[in-house]
């Protein structure tokens, strides 16, 4: 009996020691890392068939710095033949032997340890050590999962300054499983967002620890400067993190002034300048190599073209990557902000204004939807910041006495996680226009979230989505709806293409199509252009053809006019055939602008 009691006390001490010293946190997050690796491998190399290479498009831009530096010594002639075409990201200037990359090298700095380990293994085991072989492709899941889990770890540590261990853990878990952070960490870790999420979480952890110290640690401040500088190098708009240094936990104007004076100390300013210069040095060297100048804007023709007409509502609610539409859990982030403001909890007003500010900036980018992605990806790194109001929402939910309302909110949280994971594992290239609701509901049906029995199907093409499955030609000089429209001219004879099987749209026979589009003839009054509808089989044998003259609707130059038409589908037409629409510059006249094509397929 005595021996048994000693063993029991020893066991209790071990468990108590495990929790009291934070070892439990490490066990949880190491387990999460291993689980993340399994999920990342499964979704990238097992779950999806015919998946494109991981080192592709923007991800190839971030990655190419590493093989260029450590394998090929920046000699593009040594790269594998045709690799730039396979990756479809960076470009080779063979005339000047230059590698052209528009992205910065911040992500490559974070990935460097993983790349070097991968390369050493590839060299030692003769696994085609060229930086792009199948072994390198599979090893790219490592840094994404690592920085995802490490970001969640430091976020949890930051939240522990405000909440209990339980609330902190639940907040972190729900942000992981209930938002598109899961997708960009597990499925698309080579994109910048999960890496920035890690830096944001580490920045908050360092900043809170620094501010709560009586005697400020200069080394800790240098760490803040390093993390902040690296975040800015990855994405210049991350400079907004400066505001958190000034406003975090501020409760009065006196405290605000004291905070400003703290960071205006000459030693701190000098430390930031030196640290930022060292972090940016590799980028300055690359720009000098590429252009002959240490400073260079690598996104020519791209910028914040929508300052005067920000697409904020679309950013939040559009079927084209809308934030709340694809991440409904984020609505509770906003609820947490409201709770903080109503209860006068510090940081509430600041976080609310900050959320509006970053939305305005994102909505002002010339491609406000940020291309093909899962949900609205620029918000992903900011989940570290929005975790604070979400934690206050969960703490309020825990204390809520109304069982009915609490149950409804818990059901909504569970559904949000289910919804996020279903869409993640059924993610597809986003073909929608800004307000293409029918396409969105079909997506939900295909993902198994809800069943749709559409009596009609409406297709919209507003030329805002550059990643649309229909390859369109865009311009922004003359538009009907912001901020892009299509065009036809002597070189671009066909635009506004649409092609689908008739039986794809509805579960019944399509009997008619109501079509409309807006057209601007430019300086002329006669375009001789046609709006064409035809039905053909897979061998392009035509069974139905009808054309509408745009000139029948145009009355004067430099004005927008709506073209409308109704096409009746003969009953004898096989509904497995493709129906096609397009605008045709048959006579090769000068530029004509088109916008906002709408096709409504009806069964009666």
Residue 392 and residue 339 in contact, taking contact as beta carbons nearer than 8 Å: yes
User: Average pLDDT in the 7-34 region?
Assistant: 69
User: Average pLDDT in the 266-289 region?
Assistant: 96
Report how far apart, in Å, the C-alpha atoms of 526 and of each of 32, 86, 477, 561 are. 64, 43, 20, 13
Report how far apart, in Å, the C-alpha atoms of 568 and of each of 512, 536, 544, 596, 599 are. 4, 15, 10, 22, 13
Q: What is the maximum span of the chain, computed from C-alpha positions, in angstroms?
A: 103
What is the pLDDT at residue 4? 58
Residue whose C-alpha is closest to residue 54's, from 117, 141, 115? 141
What is the pLDDT at residue 256? 96
Give the DSSP letter of residue 483: S
User: Average pLDDT in the 83-96 region?
Assistant: 93
What is the pLDDT at residue 16? 56
User: Average pLDDT in the 57-67 region?
Assistant: 94
Query: What burial class does residue 45 get, using C-beta atoms within 10 Å of its C-beta: 0-12 exposed, 13-18 middle, 19+ buried?
Result: middle
Judged by average pLDDT, the poorest of 13-17, 296-300, 423-427 is 13-17
Q: The pTM is what?
A: 0.92
User: Average pLDDT in the 302-308 region?
Assistant: 87
In what helix (H) or strand (E) does residue 601 lie, and over which residues does it extend?
Answer: strand 592-602
Q: Which of helix, strand or coil describes residue 317? A: helix
Q: Which residue has the higher pLDDT, 222 or 306?
A: 222
Q: How far apart are CA 62 and CA 106, in angstroms?
A: 8
Residue 347 and residue 388 in contact, taking contact as beta carbons nearer than 8 Å: yes
What phi and psi, each to the nearest 5 degrees, are found at residue 163?
A: -135, 170
Report how far apart, in Å, the C-alpha atoms of 350 and of each of 341, 387, 389 are. 9, 14, 11
What is the pLDDT at residue 508? 87
- With 70 as the cut, is the pLDDT of residue 346 above it? yes
- Provide the pLDDT confidence category of residue 411 given band limits of 50, 70 and 90: very high
Give me 587's structure tokens.
């006579």
Residue 230 and residue 416 in contact, taking contact as beta carbons nearer than 8 Å: no
What is the pLDDT at residue 1? 43
Q: Which of helix, strand or coil describes residue 602? A: strand
User: Average pLDDT in the 451-463 region?
Assistant: 89
What is the pLDDT at residue 435? 92
Predicted confidence (pLDDT) per residue in 92-132, tens digit: 999 999 999 999 999 999 999 999 999 999 999 999 999 99
Omega of the bond prior to 195 within 30 degrees of 0, cis? no
Q: Which residue has the higher pLDDT, 49 or 46?
A: 46
Residue whose C-alpha is closest to residue 136's, from 57, 73, 70, 55? 55
Burial of 157-183, coded b for 16+ CB within 10 Å and e otherwise, reads bbbbebbeeebbbbbbebbbbbbbbbb
- With 80 as the cut, is the pLDDT of residue 358 above it? yes
What phi and psi, each to the nearest 5 degrees, are found at residue 326?
A: -95, -15
Predicted confidence (pLDDT) per residue in 554-583, tens digit: 999 999 999 999 999 999 999 999 999 999
Residue whose C-alpha is closest to residue 507's, from 458, 460, 459, 455? 455
What is the pLDDT at residue 604? 73
Q: Which residue has the higher pLDDT, 158 or 41?
A: 158
Q: How far apart are CA 374 and CA 190, in angstroms?
A: 14
- With 60 as the cut, is the pLDDT of residue 28 above it? yes
Q: How far apart are CA 113 and CA 125, in angstroms?
A: 18
Give me 302's structure tokens.
């791209």
All structural domains of the chain, each given as residue ranges with its CATH number in brackets, are 23-27+142-425 (no CATH), 54-139 (no CATH), 455-602 (2.60.120.260)
Judged by average pLDDT, the poorest of 32-36, 82-86, 453-457 is 453-457
Predicted confidence (pLDDT) per residue in 499-554, tens digit: 999 998 888 899 999 999 999 999 999 999 999 999 999 888 999 999 999 999 99
What phi and psi, each to the nearest 5 degrees, are found at residue 224?
A: -60, -45
3-state secondary structure 229-288: HHHHHHCHHHHHHHHHHHHCCCCCHHHHHHHHHHHCCHHHHHHHHHHHHHHHHHHHHHHH
Residue 383: partners with Cβ closer than 8 Å, 6 or more residues away = 175, 179, 181, 197
What is the pLDDT at residue 6? 59
What is the pLDDT at residue 2? 47
What is the pLDDT at residue 5? 61
Residue 97: partners with Cβ closer than 8 Å, 6 or more residues away = 75, 76, 77
User: Own/partner pairs for 241-250, CB < 8 Å, 24+ apart?
Assistant: 241/200, 241/203, 243/350, 243/354, 244/203, 244/204, 244/207, 244/385, 245/207, 247/347, 247/350, 248/204, 248/207, 248/208, 248/211, 248/347, 248/350, 249/208, 249/211, 249/346, 249/347, 250/346, 250/350
User: Average pLDDT in the 291-298 region?
Assistant: 92
What is the pLDDT at residue 378? 95
User: Average pLDDT in the 242-269 region?
Assistant: 96
% of the chain with per-residue pLDDT over 70: 94
What is the pLDDT at residue 302? 81
3-state secondary structure 519-585: EECCCCCCCCCEEEEEEECCCCCEEEEEEEEHHHCCCCCCCCEEEEEEEECCCCCCCCCEEEEEEEC
């Amino acid at each position: 009996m005595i021996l048994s009691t000693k063993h029991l006390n020893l066991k209790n001490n071990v468990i108590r020691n495990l929790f009291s010293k934070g070892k439990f946190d490490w066990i949880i997050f190491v387990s999460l890392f291993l689980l993340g690796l399994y999920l990342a491998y499964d979704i990238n190399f097992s779950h999806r068939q015919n998946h494109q290479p991981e080192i592709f498009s923007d991800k190839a831009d971030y990655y190419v710095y590493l093989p260029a530096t450590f394998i090929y010594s920046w000699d593009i002639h040594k790269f594998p033949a045709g690799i730039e075409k396979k990756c479809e990201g960076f470009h080779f200037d063979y005339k000047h032997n230059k590698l052209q990359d528009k992205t910065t090298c911040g992500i490559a700095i974070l990935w460097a340890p993983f790349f070097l380990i991968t390369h050493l293994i590839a060299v030692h085991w003769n696994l085609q050590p060229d930086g792009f072989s199948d072994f390198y492709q599979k090893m790219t899941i490592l840094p994404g999962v690592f920085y995802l889990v490490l970001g969640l770890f430091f976020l949890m540590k930051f939240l522990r300054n405000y909440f209990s261990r339980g609330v902190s853990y639940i907040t972190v878990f729900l942000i992981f499983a209930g938002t598109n952070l899961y997708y960009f960490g597990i499925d698309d870790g080579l994109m910048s967002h999960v890496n920035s999420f890690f830096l944001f979480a580490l920045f908050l952890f360092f900043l809170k620890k620094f501010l709560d110290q009586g005697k400020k640690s200069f080394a800790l401040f240098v760490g803040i400067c390093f993390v902040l500088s690296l975040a800015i190098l990855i994405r210049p708009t991350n400079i907004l993190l400066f505001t958190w240094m000034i406003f975090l936990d501020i409760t009065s104007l006196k405290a605000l002034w004291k905070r400003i004076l703290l960071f205006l100390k000459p030693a701190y300013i000098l430390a930031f300048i030196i640290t930022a210069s060292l972090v940016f040095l590799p980028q300055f060297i690359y720009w000098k190599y590429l252009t002959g100048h240490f400073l260079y804007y690598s996104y020519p023709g791209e910028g914040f073209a929508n300052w005067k007409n920000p697409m904020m509502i679309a950013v939040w609610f559009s079927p084209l990557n809308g934030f709340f539409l694809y991440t409904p859990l984020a609505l509770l982030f906003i609820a947490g902000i409201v709770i903080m403001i109503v209860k006068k909890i510090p940081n509430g007003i600041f976080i609310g204004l900050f959320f509006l500010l970053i939305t305005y900036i994102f909505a002002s980018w010339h491609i406000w939807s940020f291309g093909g992605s899962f949900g609205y990806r620029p918000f992903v790194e900011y989940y570290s910041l929005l975790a604070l109001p979400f934690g206050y929402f969960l703490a309020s939910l825990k204390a809520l006495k109304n069982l009915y309302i609490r149950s409804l909110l818990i059901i909504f949280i569970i559904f949000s996680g289910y919804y996020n994971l279903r869409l993640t594992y059924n993610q597809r290239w986003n073909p929608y226009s800004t307000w293409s609701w029918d396409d969105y509901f079909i997506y939900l049906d295909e993902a198994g979230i809800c069943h749709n029995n559409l009596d009609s199907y409406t297709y919209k093409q507003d030329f805002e989505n550059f990643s649309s499955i229909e390859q369109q030609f865009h311009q922004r000089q003359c538009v009907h709806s912001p901020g892009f429209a299509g065009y036809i001219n002597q070189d671009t004879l066909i635009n506004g293409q649409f092609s689908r099987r008739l039986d794809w749209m509805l579960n019944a026979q399509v009997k008619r199509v109501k079509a409309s589009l807006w057209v601007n003839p430019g300086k002329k009054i006669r375009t001789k252009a046609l709006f064409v509808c035809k039905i053909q089989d897979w061998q392009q044998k035509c069974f139905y053809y009808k054309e509408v003259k745009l000139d029948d609707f145009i009355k004067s130059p430099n004005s927008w006019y709506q073209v409308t038409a109704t096409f009746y589908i003969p009953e004898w037409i096989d509904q497995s055939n493709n129906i096609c629409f397009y605008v045709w510059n048959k006579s090769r006249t000068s530029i004509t602008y088109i916008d906002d094509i709408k096709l409504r397929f009806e069964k009666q």
